[in-house]
Amino acid sequence: MKPFFISIPHSGERVPPEVTWLSGLSEPVLMRDVDRFVDKLYQPALKFVSVPSIATEWHRYVVDLNRLPEDVDADSVEGSKNPSGTFTTGLHWVKTTKGEVLIEKPIPQMLHEKLVRDYYWPFHHQVEKKYAEFKGQGHEKIYQLDAHSMPSMGTSAHRDPGEVRAQVVVSDVDGQSCESRFKDLVIEAYKQAGFQVAYNWPYKGGRVTQVYGKPDLGQHAIQVELNRSLYMNEETKQLLSEPSKQVQQKIEKAVQFIFDGL
């Protein structure tokens, strides 16, 4: 097996009962920033190419797996030393990217710690385990693709408000999270599959690529954002049947291209 795996940290939709502040929200608001359907879009490729994957069932507003446990502020967790507004879209989302309020008052420190323990670390321990497994097999280089989705246009919460985005955005923390050969391979893979691709704009890579992308240790991580307008109604958050099938086919080609090129 080639030392390559795909992580999908934001497609989960389950909300645990202790997260009461998310109850009663309309589906469009609750799903506003979830990478809904990304796991389904990549599933045929994972099966066909036989690439291992790591995903979560838990909603990103509960604990955002592409953040650090300390990415909280006075609005999200009681007693936080980070001032109000520091991490509005941090580990526990205070507001959606369209400004809908999710947390009315900060949650207790003890609950924050429980959420981190029960829903954050299990995913990251799996990622750490996968790197360890490949290293244990004697691989000097391991490659991780962190799969996400993005709104088709930037909001005031983004770097590119009002800007129409590319179909795919590939990011590597400005060249720090992986070797250039892997970055070039991934960009070319999605282009060959038929996508319009942008690089490091408006996304540069999140905490997953920052934490696990350590080229000097043989760990190469890259983030891939998929434009939601390609396969879903962004207002109702419902899947578009035929367009989504076409996206699945393109993703399968891209993943195969990457796998063959490693």
Give yes or no for a contact between 63 and 15, defined as CB atoms under 8 angstroms apart. Answer: no
**Phi then psi dihedrals of residue 228, to 5 deg:** -65, -25
Model confidence at 159, pLDDT cuts 50, 70, 90, reads confident
Q: What percent of the chain has pLDDT over 70?
A: 100
In a domain, 232, yes or no: yes
Examine residue 225 and state whether it is found in any structural domain, yes or no: yes
Q: Domain tally for the chain?
A: 1
Residue 236 belongs to a domain: yes
Q: Determine, yes or no, domain membership for 117.
A: no
For residue 46, what pLDDT is reported? 98
In this structure, is residue 108 part of a structural domain? no
Contact between 7 and 144 (Cβ < 8 Å): yes
Confidence of residue 62 (pLDDT cuts 50, 70, 90): very high
Q: What's the residue count for the chain?
A: 262
pTM: 0.96
Q: What is the mean pLDDT of residues 163-191?
A: 97
pLDDT score for 154: 87
**What span, in angstroms and rounded, lies between the C-alpha atoms of 182 and 262?**
8
Instruction: Quote the domain boundaries for residue 150.
Output: 4-60+125-261
Q: Supply the CATH number for residue 48's domain.
A: 3.40.630.40
Chain centroid to Cα 90, Å, comes to: 13
Work out the number of other CB atoms within 10 angstroms of the CB of residue 206: 21
Is residue 79 in a domain? no
Does position 155 have pLDDT exceeding 90, yes or no? no
Q: What is the distance, to the nearest Å, from the Cα of residue 142 to the centroid of all Cα atoms in its chain? A: 19
Instruction: With beta carbons less than 8 A apart as the criterion, state whether 198 and 123 touch.
Output: no
Please check whether residue 144 lies inside any domain of the structure: yes
Report if residue 115 sits inside a domain: no
How many other CB atoms are there within 10 angstroms of residue 180's CB atom?
10
Find out whether 171 and 200 touch, Cβ atoms under 8 Å: yes
